[in-house]
Amino acid sequence: MAKKIYSTYPMVKYLRKEALPTALCPGCGGGTVLNAFANAIDSLKLDPKDLVVVSGIGCSAWIASPYFLADTLHTTHGRAIAFATGVKVGLPDKKVVVISGDGDLASIGGNHLLHAARRNIDITVILVNNFIYGMTGGQVAPTTPFGAKTTTSPYRNIEHPLQISETVAAAGASYVARWTTAHVYQLIESIKKALQVKGFSLVEVISQCPVQFGRRNRMKEPAEMLHWFLKNSVPVSKARNMSPEELEGKFVIGEFVNRERPEFITELNKLIDEVQEHFGLKE
């Protein structure tokens, strides 16, 4: 019966069947992200053999490893982008993708995120932002909305959240977009664009965590969180004309930047050629 169910899903060819069903909590947005990524790969007709997918530690790190059928690295906490950088330098012809969560990539790994964007290295990062440390008990995170409740801020969070997409765009990334799991088709299109950009690309996905975040903030059902996303989403074009007070509690969605900048690996190879030529080492 299980094999019959899996065979009806058109993207099953990109998944490790032996790892299914997933260990994700009921209602988790991780499945939506996995589906969007698989659809983007399928639409672009990319061969998974040409991919290296890297993840860190946390619920969202499980999206790629063990479920996506490609070469994957399940790395240490906060270091996924550092590992991905090494892979891209060593195997520049590979399409290198990082899929992990906000706690992994924007908290303990925030320095790697910023400097990879600054260097503009040709890797794609899909950052799943569910506002919380989900796997470790629902603690407050740098992305937790102001006023929200968590296990370590049981009365309310008094910190303002890090605006990941805006920060990465300012750091120098070639492509940055943000969508929610309620905007699936737009998400797929942005992942496709990110995979084709020459340079650092980030797709931030606002995702529901009904088990750890939702139930502590009067949204026990996944659908309630999706309605919350839709009700409070503001297109980036409209947000530009809104005040910080008007944007409080809103999710700014869409493309933040899509530009051409010198890419790290290209510049590194140019430098190697220059040095070899200078010392007469070039064949």
Write down the pLDDT at residue 250: 96
What is the model's pLDDT at position 159?
96
Q: Is the pLDDT of residue 6 over 90?
A: no
Q: How far is CA 244 from the centre of its chain?
A: 25
Instruction: Please choose, from the candidates 29, 14, 192, 200, the residue with its C-alpha nearest in 3D space to the C-alpha of residue 121.
Output: 200
pLDDT value at residue 127: 98
Question: Whole-model pTM?
Answer: 0.95
- 195 pLDDT above the threshold of 60: yes
**% the chain with pLDDT above 90:** 93
Q: Give the pLDDT confidence score for residue 7 in this predicted structure.
A: 65
pLDDT at 76 over 80: yes
Mean pLDDT value across residues 93-107: 97
The answer, yes or no, to whether residue 1 has pLDDT greater than 70, is no
DSSP string, the chain: -HHHHHHTSTTGGGB-GGGPSP-PPTT-THHHHHHHHHHHHHHHT--GGGEEEEE-SSGGGGTTTTTBSSEEEE--TT-HHHHHHHHHHH-TTSEEEEEEEHIIIIIITHHHHHHHHHHT-S-EEEEEE-SEETTTT-EE-TTPPTT--BTTBSS---SPPP-HHHHHHHHT-SEEEEEETT-HHHHHHHHHHHHH-SS-EEEEEE---TTTTGGGTT--SHHHHHHHHHHHEEEHHHHTTS-HHHHTT-EEEEEEEE-----HHHHHHHHHHHHHHHTT---
Q: How much is the pLDDT for 4?
A: 53
What confidence score (pLDDT) does residue 119 get?
97
Is pLDDT at 146 greater than 90 in this prediction?
A: yes
Question: Which pLDDT score is estimated for 172?
Answer: 98
Predicted local distance difference test score (pLDDT) of residue 283: 73
Mean pLDDT value of segment 108-123: 97
pLDDT 10s digits, 157-181:
999 999 999 999 999 999 999 999 9
Strands 201-206, 132-133: pairing kind: unpaired
How do the domains of the chain map onto residue ranges? 26-279
- What number is the average pLDDT over the span 53-67? 95
- Average pLDDT (74-97) is 97
Superfamily of domain 26-279: Thiamin diphosphate (ThDP)-binding fold, Pyr/PP domains (3.40.50.970)
pLDDT digits (tens, 9 = 90+) for 198-234: 999 999 999 999 999 999 999 999 999 999 999 999 9
pLDDT of residue 8: 83
Mean pLDDT of 51-71: 96
